[in-house]
Structure 1
Amino acid sequence: MARRGKKKGRPVSGWIVLDKPAGMGSTDAVAKVKWLFKAQKAGHAGTLDPLASGMLPIAMGEATKTVPYVMEGAKVYRFTVAWGEERTTDDLEGPVAKTSDLRPSEAEIRALLPNYTGLIMQTPPQFSAIKVGGERAYDLAREGGTVEIAAREVEVGRLDLVALPDENSALFEIECGKGTYVRSIARDLGRDLGCYGHIAELRRVEVYPFEPSHMVELAAIEAAAEAVENEEERFAAMDPFIMDTAAALDGLPEVALSDDAATRIRLGNPVIIRGRDAPVEAAEAWASSRGRLVALGTVEAGMFKPKRVFGSA
């Protein structure tokens, strides 16, 4: 019988809320962080385009089990729209497809903003990761064809005009839900204003439940790693950048367990929860013991039922 090989890397778990630099792909950023921390596994919670900068939450180890909760969180972006050109990619990367000499006034822009808030229908960009007939839209678009992508419903909490640097551009801030394409917002604003437009600069400043203050630059992690030669000391210098796995679960009810109850939960057994503030019913909740995440699950009739269990280390 073949023996299962030992996992490579450290069993490190938690979140690195990376301030991704422009020009780096999300997959490359994850690979870099995984290599620096020698993590056994890592993944990100929401792709950020290579031309975009800003918050890219990266989960390592057991934190990867909590990625869906961050994926569902609201995102905040700041972006600059350049007027006068519509591009095939809806950003600076693609060639110009349409042009206009018209430029919108502040009043015209502000009058449109209510049309872009709430539940709206949006058509994703031709160059996007949406699957069309089993293939990625960007692969089909690169082959030179026109990709028919169906409009879909997305949610925009707010869209604010922040500044007008000059007549050729406008700075916006948007708070939106999962699946919203900011490039599509820029494209559609340009079309509705009759002047065309595309993203000239894009930065993600927040991914709930993480805050801007949680972001760390790759250069800071690398500097900590290079400050010492000994591997053990190197990890000791870098690990303070890691946020606890449970940081992704802000907003979910927490159930505090005794040591005995935590052991039962880790074995997959439900437990009765006690305490004046303990929830009686909860579609989603997380259980902790001595401040450490034990399991994700549900609360039914005062009983916590585990769905995903976390290690005790």
Structure 2
Amino acid sequence: MDVVEFHRRASEDFVRLVALVGPDQWGDPTPCSEWDVRELVNHVVGEELWTVPLLAGRTIEDIGDSLDGDLLGDDPASAASHAARAAQNSVTEPVLRGATVQLSYGEEQAAEYVYQLAADHLVHGWDLAVSIGAPAHLDPEVVDGIATWFKDREDLYRGGGAIGARLEGFSDPTASLLGAFGRDPGWTPAHAAVGRLGAAFGLGDVDAIMAEMTSDCVFESTSPAPDGTLVVGAEAVREQWQQLFGQTDGALFETEESVVLGDRAIVRWRFSWNEADGQRGHVRGVDVLRLRDGKVAEKLSYVKG
């Protein structure tokens, strides 16, 4: 298959997934932590709308801000379908004649640009599928084609900050490609909840912390030894965090690693503070979490030493 076919298949699969988004799912989290479902779809539709004028020879300056903002309107599925069809119709002729296109980093071959589009549709299609609970079955021929193309470009993408750190240890071709793009093939919405909780602790934001916990949440602290103290209910748990951040000078939580398996998660963290002598003290520990309905219902904390 050639890149035009890769693009057609990947974009059609994306349109199919957009049609499956439920009315209450547009605000749900995605593997792209900065985007919810609607923002993810809007990004891809925006890429499709840019494709037509760029391949017709217009520049980014020509287009300006005409494609900024919300592009989905009241009918995202139709917006995605129409944009994909227009993009598909625009790619064949420029690729066949070896045309070039003006991108943000300069002049590029049209075929290379369409490879970029196909890859983005493929990976974001997986993002969308796992976000809405749809089957995340990527076309194996498109996966192989994009993997071959991406092999020599991965370092360039990562060096430019376009993708995260590579995840290793996968034998399945789809999982390997997702890992190369910095995706965890096992991602679920629970990963997003754990990430938001870690970010809230990193900021010391008690309101944000409690927004990620259930009303009947349970917290088991690290002291006194050997069993800690069990705190039950959101109000009592909130008091624990208010005391911790309010009474600890320079309190800082940093997430070192998190692993999510179904409704359970393990988070390794480092907690540091300002000592009286001006030095930083710290301890390292783990949380064992239980999740329910996208929130943390149980947080059992353990610390080294």
TM-score (norm 2): 0.22
Query: Which protein is richer in strand relative to its size?
Result: 1
TM-score (norm 1): 0.22
